[in-house]
Structure 1
Amino acid sequence: MPVVEEVEVVVAHHERATLRVGDVFLKIDADQTRTDVEVEAMAMAPIPTPEILWRKPPVLALAALPGTALGRLGQPSTASSAAWAAAGAAVRMLHDAPLPPWPGPRLDDVASRLDGECEWLVANGVLPADLVLRNRRVAEAALRPWIPVFMHGDLQVAHVFVADDDVTGVVDWSEAGQGDALYDLAVLTLGHEERLRDVVTGYGTDVDLTVIRAWWSLRSLLAIRWLVEHGFDPAAPGCEFDVLKSRM
């Protein structure tokens, strides 16, 4: 009888799921537009990405990357300063690449969505009104015109893989598009503020830290409702609630 690989559920909710079977990741997405973006973005990206093994909608099969994730939200990162700097350098390479042909988020849409999420958080008693208001004010600094770059769009620390202080690949490109460079840097360092200096060092140019901190607040405010509705816990230690509280 053939040996059957164990199936690991990496993430699953009503929009999409990712399974691991041995060295293969199977991404199942109800919205094939997201998969289209992911496939095209990985083909365009000048940094390492997973090898596409095959695609049979709604499934995309990707080869596992060598190395380990740079870190996890809510957990201390054991990666070295050099690895974090390497991540910053990889992000800079991406941002210097030609823009993808499809648009990214519009500033007005981000501002409108932020207002709606803040209203929901207060109306439903998810967070104290003063905490939401304070972070809404901090977030204002991010709501300014930006020069668009090739943005990953969901550059969570868990999406960057490293080995021997080198970046071996970046996963989950379905949110890629034209956008704000500082948004990627903020998402990468969300909940890992102590690593920001390393990332900026690797990025190799001056950045506005006030805007990065603003994106920490904005990203957290926007994410909470989605996380709650999809079975995740933004109140876990070191996660979105704590990020917002740290701005107080």
Structure 2
Amino acid sequence: MVDVNEVAVVVAHQERATLRVGDVFLKVDADQTRTDVEVEAMALAPIPTPQVLWRKPPVLALAALSGTALGRLGVPATASPAAWAAAGAAVRRLHDAPLPPWPGRSLDEIASRLDDECEWLVTNGVLPIDLITRNRQVAEAALRPWTPVFTHGDLQIAHVFVDGDEITGVVDWSEAGRGDALYDLASLTLGHERHLGDVVAGYGTEVDLDVIRAWWSVRSLLAIRWLVEHDFDPFSPGCEVDVLRSRL
């Protein structure tokens, strides 16, 4: 590794941490099962991913991607419509690929966890009951049988890198598995609804927009407790709580 001037902490909490050292990302994860999934998923995915430089548990070293993140939750996105469409096209290539050999989360598992999280939000007075109730109703549209595809599983816009209008790679594959295609599309557009049309145009096939919106509610309801407990702020403008409020 060449000499570097600084070490940047990308993200750090009790479960894992990611550091940037020059052009190398060092991911430290207490659960090596997640790292196993990440490495295998990147090897199987038919879209650009970071190069694995080395792995010495609990550390995984990845080469940095060129370009910048497509955007951030809570921050107005400046990427072009063509870049969003390119992201949609990349997601379609992933979904058209052969299924990974390991399963994803089941419908029953998601529904059960969603009920638990809603109960926690009510019990602890985190959100108004009418806001939780309305979004739990909206979420029901997502809780239907789906044909499983190869999904990224955590396809937030910060995980998609672009250079101009071109996708240079997708990072953070530890949640990859068999899942609902529309969940990936919802994750990509969470908090950036105005770009949904660009993503769907790039995806290249008709999708049920109501189901995508339902997944926005599911993802936000499921995330809030974890975010609060790990010192992130879902109440920041444009983030998860605002996504839930937009359903009212």
Answer whether TM exceeds 0.5 for this pair: yes
Change (3 A) 1:98 1:3: closer
8 Å CA contact retained: 2:4, 2:22: no
Aligned: 1:135 with 2:135: yes
Give the SS at the match of 2:97: coil
Q: Deviations over 1:17-36 (max 9, x none)?
A: 00000100000000000000
Distance in structure 2 (CA, Å) of the matches to 1:113 and 1:4: 43
Q: Which runs of 5+ in 2 are unaligned?
A: none
Query: What SS does the corresponding residue of 1:71 show, helix, strand or coil?
Result: coil
Give the secondary-structure state (helix, strand or coil) at the position aligned to 1:136: helix
TM-score, normalised via structure 1 length: 0.99
Counterpart of 1:39? 39
2:123 match? 123
Count of residues paired in the alignment: 247
CA distance in 2, matches of 1:220, 1:188: 13
- Which residue does 1:68 correspond to in 2? 68
- Aligned partners of 2:156 and 2:187 also within 8 Å: yes
Amino acid at match of 1:24: V
Q: Determine what percentage of the aligned residue pairs are the same residue.
A: 81
Read off the aligned partner of 2:155 and give its amino acid letter.
L
SS in 1 for 2:11: strand
Give the aligned partner of residue 237 of structure 1: 237
Matches within 5 A, 1:32-181: 32-181=32-181
Cα deviation, 1:193-223, whole Å, max 9, x if unaligned, reads 0000000000000000000000000000000
Alignment gaps of 5+ in structure 1? none
TM-score (norm: length of structure 2): 0.99
Mapped to 1, the partners of 2:95 and 2:118 lie a distance apart of 30
CA RMSD of aligned residues (A): 0.8
- State the distance in 2 between where 1:191 and 1:164 align: 22
Runs of 4+, deviation exceeding 6 Å: none
Report the AA paired with residue 99 of structure 1: L
Task: Give 1:4 shift.
Answer: 4.1
In 2, distance between residues paired with 1:5 and 1:21?
Answer: 9
How far apart are 1:3 and its partner, in Å?
A: 4.7
